[in-house]
Structure 1
Amino acid sequence: MKKIIIRTDASTQIGSGHVMRCLTIAKNLKKQGYQVIFWMEPLQGNLISYVKAQGFEHILGAENADLYIVDHYDIDQEWERIHRKYTKKIMVIDDLANRNHDCDLLLDQNVVPEFKKRYETLIPQYCKTLLGPKYLILRDEFLEARQLIDRRNGNVEHILIFMGGTDPTHETMKVLNALPEISHNFKHIDVVVGKGNLQKNKIERICKERGYHYHCQINYIASLIQQADFSIGAGGSTTWERCYLGLPSSSTIVAENQYEATKYAAELGAVLNLGWHNQVTIETYKDLLNTLNAKQQQLSKISEMGLSLTNNEVPNPWIDEIMELLS
């Protein structure tokens, strides 16, 4: 059995997105008969116990393997070259294109200007690239939900709030503070947080008091996206998940790596970009919520653009590319 080690981390500062998308990759590769092991550091807000509960072994240092998959913004070609002695092949998952890599396969699922060219000077000539939304890392629940979605007409009765697994800039609380005078406009409000959200207990209490639906560290977000009419979210990979299921949404930029993709997605008409978190206030969210039903036509167009940008004939084609790398 061929062995794969995934080097990634989650924390209150890093967030949970790297680990969550790596879990999707790990589960797909495990189905194909590979042994998949996670190498993660025990940082504050880590997801080590969660990954173990999903059936994967955890290590704290380098081991020999047939493939290393690296999803970490603090790792570059220096680390990768040092660890070549432990592995035959290295795959990198990146969003930033801001450092050199020594890898055999690179995946970046984001849409940004010139996204097909931006790694040309950062990787070896022999490295194969998988770039753009064709290579979205999607859990099975998303693939199934895509087959069942109805076209949205822009009418908003059901709101989904999900600001990422850790929400380090406390956007969820801003939205909750904006809602009391407006929530009567909506029939159903879902609020999703991750295990690493430091305010999750307070958020849960507020949701119970107001009759909102609270969800923590769930594996059914695709179902909530499918049922919602509009989502208030953060930038990053969850933007493309919402697009994949045609859910119109707003994105607040909560990290540097989200800026370029969020800005470009808004220019393409696939999301409403609210801007940087430090400029987004309770009043910003209140104004957004108050005007949603006046944006019916615009929201319908956002839904269609999201579906169009993420359309792919073969879901998760990166699986075959990884298997070819290991052959």
Structure 2
Amino acid sequence: MIIRTDASTNIGSGHVMRCLTIAKNLEKQNVDVIFWMKDLPGHLINYVQQEGFETINRAEKAELYLIDHYNIDEEWEKDHRQYTDKIVVIDDLANRPHDCDLILDQNFLPNFESRYDELVPKHCIRLLGPKYLIMRDEFIEARLKEKERNNHIERILVFMGGSDPTDETIKILKALSQFGNSFEHIDVVVGNGNINKEEIKRICDRQGYDYHCQIDYMAKLMQKADFSIGAGGSTTWERCYVGLPSSSTIVAENQALTTKYAHELGAVLDLGWHEKVTVETYVDLLLKLKNREVEVNQIGRIGLSLTENTFPNPWIDEVMELLT
């Protein structure tokens, strides 16, 4: 099986990270997984290799191709049918047609069940909505050990995505500097693709915050936290899955609809588009956390209810069916 995906300073790390989750789950089912990735600025090829997977840079024959890439559509997929019998697509946008045998979109939107009706073939299996969340084992374990949250916001987790192309982390650190010791503990997480990671580390060291880079223990940090300041995207659902109240700043077009809808449902605080989110926006948010603690914790409870599953990662069986 070949996974076609990429990471870069512009693309971010989310596609690769969720594909690693898929790969590790399928590896447990004795599936050999290879990653096809381009050598882009901020790529995660070395990280994928460190996680135990072979990487390639061109098409090869495989029983199944899994594609997680916004720049790939029906034309590319039809062209690559010569290399594979089955194609699985991971998507969030529903903005282009696909020639695939299975499509997985884990996002919760008002029309999530029908938005691919005209975009995939009739025979295509559709795994749509939060029932099909792609969750790492650490998050599944964290949900089983669900934290009993009180109404005190003392520990803050900051994670604005692996590359944070709009420099939200720096804005947040400037906002936090105005609060002195108002919060008991601050965890700041960045990815290897963040071009400002060294500056962020220096600020964290100076202000006494815990700095983490390209980690594999995010769920543990989420368990400990009382609130997370984050970006939209797949980490929104990870925060919901462990019942962590959070805010989301929209830093990419693909995050807009899901962030706004999650806000309408009460599962996240939507701060809006990054261009309009300033240091003062984050200062206002931090002030509200101290005055609206009961309301904030209700956000976490709504997140838990939206991500209820009969069992974790039900998409595994569906993908395995294609391989038999």
**TM-score range with shorter-chain normalisation?**
over 0.9
Q: Which residue of 2 aligns with 1:44?
A: 41
Question: Secondary structure of 2:188's match?
Answer: strand
Q: Which residue of 1 aligns with 2:158?
A: 161
CA distance in 1: counterparts of 2:257 and 2:214, whole angstroms: 27
Question: Secondary structure of 2:211's match?
Answer: strand
CA distance in 1: counterparts of 2:18 and 2:2, whole angstroms: 14
Residue 257 of structure 2 corresponds to residue 224 of structure 1? no
Give, in angstroms, the shift of residue 151 of structure 1.
3.2
Aligned partner letter, 1:22? C
Residue 73 of structure 2 corresponds to residue 76 of structure 1? yes
Runs of 4+ residues deviating >4 angstroms: none
Give, in angstroms, the shift of residue 313 of structure 1.
1.4
Aligned to 2:274, which of 268, 271, 277?
Answer: 277
Give, in angstroms, the shift of residue 159 of structure 1.
0.2
CA distance in 2: counterparts of 1:183 and 1:81, whole angstroms: 57
Aligned to 1:7, which of 1, 4, 7?
Answer: 4
Question: Secondary structure of 1:25's match?
Answer: helix
CA distance in 2: counterparts of 1:42 and 1:225, whole angstroms: 31
Return 5+ residue gaps in structure 1 as ranges. none
Show the 5 A alignment for 1:132-143. 132-143=129-140
Aligned partner letter, 1:320? D
CA distance in 2: counterparts of 1:272 and 1:287, whole angstroms: 12
Give, in angstroms, the shift of residue 154 of structure 1.
3.3
Give, in angstroms, the shift of residue 293 of structure 1.
1.7
Return 5+ residue gaps in structure 2 as ranges. none
CA distance in 2: counterparts of 1:153 and 1:97, whole angstroms: 39
CA distance in 2: counterparts of 1:313 and 1:46, whole angstroms: 35
Aligned partner letter, 1:161? V
Give, in angstroms, the shift of residue 294 of structure 1.
1.1
Show the 5 A alignment for 1:8-157. 8-157=5-154
CA distance in 2: counterparts of 1:179 and 1:58, whole angstroms: 40
Question: Secondary structure of 1:46's match?
Answer: coil
Aligned partner letter, 1:50? Y
Residue 316 of structure 2 corresponds to residue 319 of structure 1? yes
Q: What number of residue pairs does the alignment pair up?
A: 324
Aligned-pair identity (%): 66
Q: Which residue of 2 aligns with 1:268?
A: 265
Give, in angstroms, the shift of residue 298 of structure 1.
1.3
Question: Secondary structure of 2:134's match?
Answer: coil
Aligned partner letter, 1:211? G
CA distance in 2: counterparts of 1:162 and 1:300, whole angstroms: 19
CA distance in 2: counterparts of 1:119 and 1:209, whole angstroms: 49
Q: Which residue of 2 aligns with 1:291?
A: 288
Aligned partner letter, 2:102? L
CA distance in 1: counterparts of 2:177 and 2:167, whole angstroms: 17
Give, in angstroms, the shift of residue 152 of structure 1.
2.0
Bigger shift: residues 129-138 or 213-222: 129-138
Bigger shift: residues 151-160 or 70-79: 151-160
